[in-house]
Amino acid sequence: MQMKTEYAIVGSGAGGGTVAAELARRGGRVLVLERGPDYCFVGNHLFAVAVLDKHGFLTSQEGMGVARALVTGGSTMLTCGTASRPPGGVFERFDIDLSPYFEKAEEDLRVTALPDDTIGEATMSLLEAGNRLGMKWVKLEKFIDPEKCEPRYCNCMLGCPKEAKWTAREYLDEAKKHGAEVIPHVKIDEVVISGGEAAGVKGWQKGAGDFEVEADTVILSAGGLGTPVILQRSGIYDAGKGFFCDPLVFTIGIHPRLKGGFDPPMTVGTFDFWESEGFLLSPVVDPWVSMGLEMMKAKPSKLVDWPKYPGMMGIMTKGKDAVAGRINVDETFSKQLTYEDRAKLDKGIAISTKVLLEAGCKPESIWVNKPRGAHPGGTCRIGEVVNTDLETEVKNLFICDASVIPDSLAAPVVITLVALGKRLADHIRPEAQET
C-alpha cells in the first residue's frame, strides 16, 4: 500500500496519541501507524495477555522482564492511572520548561486524587501505617474519574472496562474527529530519508504486505523499545544506548481482615525516598492471574496462598536505574540491574515490609516478587540522539515517546510524555497556523 500525508506518526501510545491529537486539531493531515491491533474487549485478563508484548513474557537477554503493550493506545491501556510530574532538573538542565504543558496535560487528563472510599479501606490502612512509622504518605494524583471507577473490583492494569481511566485512545478519538486516520496492524521498520530529510516510512501491514507512506514530517512514537530499532534500521546507530526501565518490585503480605486485592493500584504512596534514595513506594498488587505467575516465578511455595488473593496487600518499590541497557537492531535488548539498582530496591523492600507489618499483615505471609520494568525509555535521549526540539540529525524526523527522556524518573511517565507531545506540536505547527 502506498499513501501520502503531511504528518506520519509511528505508534499510538502516550507520545504518539498526544502529537496526533494536537496536530490534527490544528488542521494538519495526520496518519497514525500502529503495530498492534485495535481490540475493544478491554478490562480483562484476555485483553492484557493479548496485547502485552510476548504475552507478558518479554525479557532482556539477561532475563529481566519488561512490560509494554502493542495495541492502539499503547501502554497507556495498562497503566495504574497515576499522574506525576518528573523530578526537578531532568528537563531544566536542557533549558526545557515543561511547566505550562504540565498544566494543560493535567487538565486534559482530569488529574485528581481519589476519595477515601474509592481508594479502599486496606490501602488507606497502609497510608496510615506509613504515617505512624514517621513517613509522609499521601494520596497520589490519578487520571481516573472517581465517578466511573468501580473501587471494589478495579481492573486498571487490564484496561479499564468502565472507561474511568484516561488512555491515549481519548487523544486518538480526538485526532480522528479532526480528520486523522489511525491504521492498526502496521509495523514500521524504517524511515525513508532523501537528501538528509525524512520523506516517509516503510514497513509491513498485516494481511496486505509491504507498506509505504510518503510524509513531509515523520514523528516516531514507537516507545523506548520500538523507536531505537527503527532509527538503527534507518542508519542512526547511536540510538538504543542507555536503556532504563524504572525497575519495580512488589512486597506482598496477607491481612487477616482487610481486603486490598481489588483496590485501585497506586492511589497513595510516599515520595520521602524519591530525591534522596531514588525510589518511590506505593501500594499495588498484580491482577490475580498474574499474581499466580509471579508466585510461580519468585516463590512457588507461596502458591498455596493464591486463593487468599482478596486479602493481599502489596507495596511497590519503583527505583531509578542506571541508563545502562541497550536495544539491538533485531529487537533483542540487554538489561540487568546494577549493584546500586538492586540496593535501592532492597532498601524499599525493607521499608515496605515494616509498613505491611504495621498495617497488620501476618509476618509469615510476606514475600517479594522478581524485579521487572514497565517504563522502557532513555534510548534516544535529548542531547544525544535528539536535540531540545526532539528532532534527530535527519531534518523533519522527530521523536516523541519515552525514549527521549534523559534519565530514569522512578515515577509515572505519562504526564511527562503528554507535556512533551504538546510542546513538540507547538514547535512543528504553532497554534497560529490553525485553520
Ligand X SMILES: Cc1cc2nc3c(=O)[nH]c(=O)nc-3n(C[C@H](O)[C@H](O)[C@H](O)COP(=O)(O)OP(=O)(O)OC[C@H]3O[C@@H](n4cnc5c(N)ncnc54)[C@H](O)[C@@H]3O)c2cc1C
Residues that bind ligand X (CB under 6 A): 10-16, 33-36, 67-68, 70-71, 74-76, 78-82, 157, 187-188, 221-224, 226, 230, 266, 374-375, 401-402, 412-414, 417
d(CA 295, CA 306): 8
Q: How many residues does the chain have?
A: 435
Nine cell digits for residue 150: 468501580
Smallest distance, Å, CB 43 to ligand X?
14
Smallest distance, Å, CB 373 to ligand X?
9
- The residues with which 165 forms a beta bridge, in sequence order, are 144
CB of 1 or CB of 350, closer to ligand X: 1
d(CA 210, CA 232): 19
d(CA 375, CA 261): 23
CB of 98 or CB of 417, closer to ligand X: 417
Smallest distance, Å, CB 117 to ligand X?
21
CB of 245 or CB of 361, closer to ligand X: 245
CB of 255 or CB of 335, closer to ligand X: 335
d(CA 71, CA 78): 10
Contact 144, 272 (CB under 8 A): no
CB of 78 or CB of 129, closer to ligand X: 78
Residue number of the CB atom closest to ligand X: 13
CB of 202 or CB of 342, closer to ligand X: 202
CB of 9 or CB of 361, closer to ligand X: 9
Q: Which residues are CB-neighbours of 180 under 8 A, at least 6 positions away?
A: 20, 23, 24, 29, 30, 31, 32, 172
314, exposed or middle or buried, with CB in 10 Å at 0-12, 13-18, 19+? buried
Grid cell 521499608 — which residue? 351
Smallest distance, Å, CB 362 to ligand X?
27
Smallest distance, Å, CB 246 to ligand X?
8
Q: Which residues are CB-neighbours of 422 under 8 A, at least 6 positions away?
A: 18, 22, 101, 104, 105
Smallest distance, Å, CB 338 to ligand X?
21
Q: Which residues are CB-neighbours of 433 under 8 A, at least 6 positions away?
A: 26, 27
Contact 7, 213 (CB under 8 A): no
Smallest distance, Å, CB 282 to ligand X?
9
d(CA 378, CA 244): 6
